[in-house]
Homo-oligomer: A and B are copies of this chain.
């Protein structure tokens, strides 16, 4: 397997080699948001591709990966909404690409998700009604307060953003 890699590397042009390094580096960045190494690399590759879409085999070849790994990675990214695909008439292939809007929504959703800790803390407070340690409860209430605020802000953040763009 190492030898295979060497072999393929030898075939790569210098330019592709540079791109591979960028993909790997950027891939590691995406891994930190919880994606598998392969999903992270696929996403990075699509971001850096010209044209900004690629067919299945081209992804597989570029990343020196198995079909199953690529298939699972793409399906994972599509389920999340970060990737989708386009087709061309007379061509049965799918051309996968980053869906920037979907990606943004995924990020927004994660922030909204954070705000749902509020409900968990509310449950905690319900369990702590008889406490002798009121200060702890008060601190938790502050956290709830902040998360409610965040929640409200996130609700209309798109509206506010668009408003700000127009007044510019």
Contacts and interface: CB of A to CB of B under 8 A. Distances in A.
Interface stretch (A2-10, A60-68, A73-81, A110-118): A110-118
B52 A131 contact: yes
B146 A104 contact: yes
Contacts of A22: 127
Number of this chain's copies in the assembly equals 2
B100 A133 contact: no
A164 interface: yes
A166 interface: no
A50 B131 contact: yes
Given A100-B142, A127-B22, A50 B133 contact: yes
B164 A127 contact: no
Interface of A is mostly: helix
Given A29-B120, A104-B143, A128 B50 contact: yes
Interface size class of A (residues with CB under 8 A): 35 or more
A69 interface: no
Interface in A1-34: 22, 26, 29, 34
Interface in A34-56: 34, 47-48, 50-52
A22 B34 CA distance: 26
A27 to B, nearest CB: 11
Interface string A71-105: 00000000000000000000000000110110110
A129 to B, nearest CB: 10
Contacts of A131: 50, 52
Contacts of A139: 100-101
Contacts of A136: 52, 97-98, 100
